[in-house]
Amino acid sequence: MRLPDLAAALSLPASDLPNVEVSGATHNADWVGPGSVFVAIRGARFDGHAFMDKARGAGAVAVLGEGLPDGMTAPLPYLRVPDARAALADAAAALAGHPSRALKVVGVTGTDGKTTTSWLARHLLRAAGIPTGLLSTVGYELPDGELRHFPAHFTTPEAPEVQATLAEMVRVGAGAAVLEASSHALALDRVRGVDWDVAVWTHLSSEHLDFHGTLENYFADKKKLVERAPFAVLNVDDPWTAELRGVAPEETTYSAENQHADWRATGVEEGPGGLSFDVASPAGEFRARLPMIGRFNVANALAAMAAAHRLGAAPEALVAGLASFAGVPGRMELVPGPGGGPRVIVDFAHTPPSLEKALGMLRATTPGRLWVLVGSAGGRRDPSKRAPLGEVATRLADHAVLTEEDCRDTPIADILAEMERGAREAGRANFTSIPDRREAIAHVIAQAAPGDTVLLAGKGPEDTLERAAETLPWDEVGEARAALQRR
């Protein structure tokens, strides 16, 4: 695309611009290449305008920004835009050829459950014969099913990476895509250029308030997904859903508890092989089996079925797809061991509600003691959940090991002190604090007996562990497997 054509696509004046080819758009001067448009974003700590010369040196052909700072001149053609982040997303979508318009796109948002629901939806669509890509917190997949990872540590990648991934899906023949839409992605316009077909709402609880400020702001940003989709799949068990009814032009509801929902489950049975339940829905009535533990996954399955059915999946494909689902890496993932030791499970649960769900479910299926290892993030992440995490961990487990998650620039002693405070104020003393996560995993697995269950919570499939001075490669399942071998 030529620069004047890009300007026209963004509704900007194009007559005086050089007729040069544009290869891409980025807001990071380190990612600029020959032919890039550099988007100068004013952030909390840096103003992108300070990096215009660096961008020019790397081959940028123009700058987009909300206006030059006083006393500064642009070393390249400067296109003024009302909102730099929105312009980055719009430019990325235009340069990629608006790939989402060639796909049926499901977006999934919520505090808990969105990863499992996303993986389920992509699996059900594939079972229905629709080649489907996936973009989630675990990584991204093309229809070939191979899990890939972005180099940057984002819950959702920036807009150029989102659009490039969707374009790659189109190139290899995908007919649909499932995207996790985090609150950051929605607030920062990372997914602004996506044309949604279905929005799925799972559940809302307190999270990321360091970024959003209030729970109401957090809700408002997540609500954007429902506002932008023509069809919404809404969880009637979530109190916030009342404010979402009627927002999308069309909607359906689901519930594992409420028999007035459109998609509902009855006769739920949980056994060693997973879950089975009866489904009553607009697609008909049928018995479903899901090889996952945790009754809360019934709701995730209903949401995924409702989304897949909207895009054409027949009841037979839904039933077959659920029965063949292999699970999600780092979500209630059973760690294989040599035998004779405790059951060890890795899960991403990192909020008090998600940890409470996970521990409550494991308590019901554990003949012995229940152990949990849990940490809390540092840096600019929401510190208000640290004490509640300590309270939930010590209330529902027989013993809790408190440790690091990603402490970043927050002293680990401060994080552990807050978690300990939550436990002590609840009258609990059944915890041990071990700052080093590797040592903590080795300790809890060594202490647990055969018949016990150990939940390693908080990291799930993440492949790094962030500390103040370093970012370490990390494999939670690998650490657990090594600890089991050493028993």
Residue 133: which residues within 8 A CB-CB, separation 6 or more? 103, 122, 140, 141, 142, 143, 165, 166, 169, 174, 176, 177, 178
CA-closest candidate to residue 336, choices 487, 486, 484, 460: 484
Q: How far is CA 236 from CA 201, 260, 313, 425, 465, in A?
A: 10, 9, 23, 33, 36
If phi > 0 it is left, if psi is from -120 to 50 it is alpha, else beta; for residue 122 that is alpha
Binding-site residues from annotation: 110-116, 155-156, 182, 190
H, E, C per residue of 151-209: CCCCCCCCHHHHHHHHHHHHHCCCCEEEEECCHHHHHCCCCCCCCCCEEEECCCCCCCH
Q: How far is CA 33 from CA 48, 56, 109, 168, in A?
A: 16, 9, 33, 20
Ordered strands of the 176-180 beta sheet: 147-148, 139-141, 132-136, 176-180, 104-109, 198-201, 231-235, 250-255, 263-271, 274-281, 284-290
H, E, C per residue of 311-366: CCCCHHHHHHHHHCCCCECCECEECCCCCCCCEEEEECCCCHHHHHHHHHHHHCCC
- Separation of first and last alpha carbons in the chain: 60
Binding-site residues from annotation for ATP: 110-116
- Cα Rg of the chain (Å, integer): 24
d(CA 100, CA 353): 33
CA-closest candidate to residue 371, choices 348, 391, 396: 396
